Amino acid sequence: MSDDALPLQVRGLTRRYGRLVGLDAFDLDLKRGQCVALIGANGSGKSTAVRTISGLLEPSDGTVRICGHDPHAEPDAEEARAALALVPDAPLLYDDLTVRQHLALVALAHGVVDDDLDARIDALLLRLGLDHRADFLPTELSRGLKQKTGLACALIRPKRLLVLDEPVVGLDPPSQKLLVELLLDAKADGTAILLTTHQMAFADDVADRAIVLGEGKVLDRGPWREVRARAAQRGWAPEHA
């Protein structure tokens, strides 16, 4: 993949559900080391946007380019998938794999084979507070620990774009603070981040820009602080779901 290509470029992205338009002519450019937060009420189109960008939903119109590659049109979308790490709102975990095995599998699948992998997994589990649950199965984990496991799977692998859909759901305040630290580290390493959130305060320290969605349409966009203030004034984005 080209180092010159933007981690994410979206043009006119539209997703229809019959007569209902879930996302309408959505545009976005996301550069390395930047974070864009999508905000809005339930049903505003945030999850439709990230799922269509990530290749989980087919667009009705428009284009998506992840590091110059189309996750919808290219065979198996291999290049786009290699560049993108997704943390969905409901963690997708295998019932018969432990937390540690999940990380090892993801790393192997994305070509992370080195002598330091075990140490890197141990360090990441420790930082996320998963070290004491490393050998547990998903059925033995709380909602928050499942969310952390999904996040760990995204962080252990190479990526140019990190997409998170409501990442703070199920996380207590200390875990939310830790997530901010991890996302800031990712930005410093050049990773582009797209996230959705109802928790405005969570994004204060990590988001550079914001886009407000309502009924699939862009209501506002711009620098995070400016958009956050306007959204609060107009009631576009509740602090809690």
The mean pLDDT of the chain is 91
CATH number for region 8-91+147-234? 3.40.50.300
In which band, very low, low, confident or very high, does the pLDDT at 76 lie, cut at 50, 70 and 90? low
Dump pLDDT digits (tens) for 119-150.
Answer: 999 999 999 999 999 999 999 999 999 999 99
Dump pLDDT digits (tens) for 55-67.
Answer: 999 999 999 999 9
pLDDT at 113: 79
Share of the chain above pLDDT 90, in %: 76
In which band, very low, low, confident or very high, does the pLDDT at 240 lie, cut at 50, 70 and 90? very low
Residue 238, pLDDT above cutoff 60: no
Residue spans per domain, the chain: 8-91+147-234
Question: DSSP string covering the chain, please?
Answer: --TTS-SEEEEEEEEEETTEEEEEEEEEEE-TT-EEEEE-STTSSHHHHHHHHTTSS--SEEEEEBTTB-TTTSGGGHHHHHHEEEE-SS----TTS-HHHHHHHHHHHTT---TTHHHHHHHHHHHTT-GGGTT--GGGS-HHHHHHHHHHHHHSS--SEEEEESTTTT--HHHHHHHHHHHHHHHHTT-EEEEE-S-HHHHTTT-SEEEEEETTEEEEEEEHHHHHHHHHHHT-S-S--
